[in-house]
Structure 1
């Protein structure tokens, strides 16, 4: 049973690390601040959440796992909201979108 738990934890750590790597690559490769925020809020949240869950699972203590699970849900619930608010603030501050962006839905909603 301990071997299965160690293998599951290792798989979750590797998955979380892969998502964090994809987020880091997205932060470096995407052309504008809005695309970078998307990479950080989506892949970064999943990566850090999976790493937190792996920590809670590896501890073997139900109380630690419950706190790790609560932290995971906190990440999932707050990161998209904060990324949206940062994108609206960046747009209002005048940061331009890349020429490859097709539509600006934030200003369409705020203009009405």
Structure 2
């Protein structure tokens, strides 16, 4: 394997590892569930993307053609992580988990929680 590919793979792995470490630390350290959601959905997703990019480069070199599997995994993660975070936040909101006192716009939480489904237009 050429030296420049090894350097690119190592840099990508290091960047991914740093973001994964930051995401893991944030998950432990942040005080409430609403803040904790940012850590795994942003930093950890970026970290996994760095590791998968390194794997894609390595596998493409081994096979001699472009490796699509890692790209599909990355796209799947980038699509599902925000959806999962949204669902977790909605669950915490409906279970009335209290945010920190210094959180702004807390009055909007009651409005969002008590919101009704939009009415379907009546068929005539």
Structure 1 unaligned spans of 5+: none
Greater C-alpha radius of gyration: 2
Partner of 2:55: 55
Bigger proportion of residues as helix: 1
Cα distance 1:93–1:109, how it changes in 2: closer, same or farther (>3 A)? closer
Cα distance 1:13–1:107, how it changes in 2: closer, same or farther (>3 A)? farther
For the aligned residue pairs, the C-alpha RMSD in angstroms reads: 1.9
**May I ask how many residue pairs the two structures share in their alignment?**
111
Partner of 1:15: 15
Structure 2 unaligned spans of 5+: 116-124
CA distance in 2, matches of 1:107, 1:12: 43
Q: Give the TM-score, by structure 2 length.
A: 0.79
Q: Give the TM-score, by structure 1 length.
A: 0.87
CA distance in 1, matches of 2:101, 2:114: 21
2:35 aligned counterpart, secondary structure: helix
